[in-house]
Amino acid sequence: MNRFISILIAVITIGAVVVFGFLYLSRPATPTVPVQQQGGVPSDNTYVAQSAGRSKEAAKAAFQQAVDRQNIDNTKLYQTSIAGDYALQVWAGNIMGGEALLKYDEVQGRWSIVESSGGSYSEAALVSRGVPTSTAESLLVGMPQ
């Protein structure tokens, strides 16, 4: 009886070691952390420039600064349209492209990213994000069709 218990304990111990070893070896090699989707396109409400000004070049530079922080998609910037306190910036990378909506913060004197995503904005989409209708119309006039 003692021999049976000894063999049973040994089998259970070996089984536990095998199970824990399998679980240990099958875990991810590095801890998983949230990754910004689609190659480093800046997230919403990111301040991107120090005292940038209101020009197209300033809006483009502001977005470029945010892209440069994590540009794993080789993102390039193209057309920029400005109307009032808002700007639209066209961007494209190796995997995807889209437009970014920026808003000028008069108090801080710099552009901030309202939203950046794939695709292009419609007038209704801009208005739903707080852009006045006349400003949305003016922004879209300056964008490629």
pLDDT in tens, 20-54: 777 766 665 433 333 333 344 444 444 444 444 77
Residue 96 token pair: 């995807």
Please check the confidence at residue 17 and state whether its pLDDT lies above 80: yes
Residue 92 token pair: 């494209």
Cα separation, 110 vs 130, in Å, equals 18
Contact (CB, 8 A) for 118 and 38: yes
Model pTM score = 0.61
Element (H, E) at 12: helix 2-25
Q: Which residue has the tokens 């020009």?
A: 55
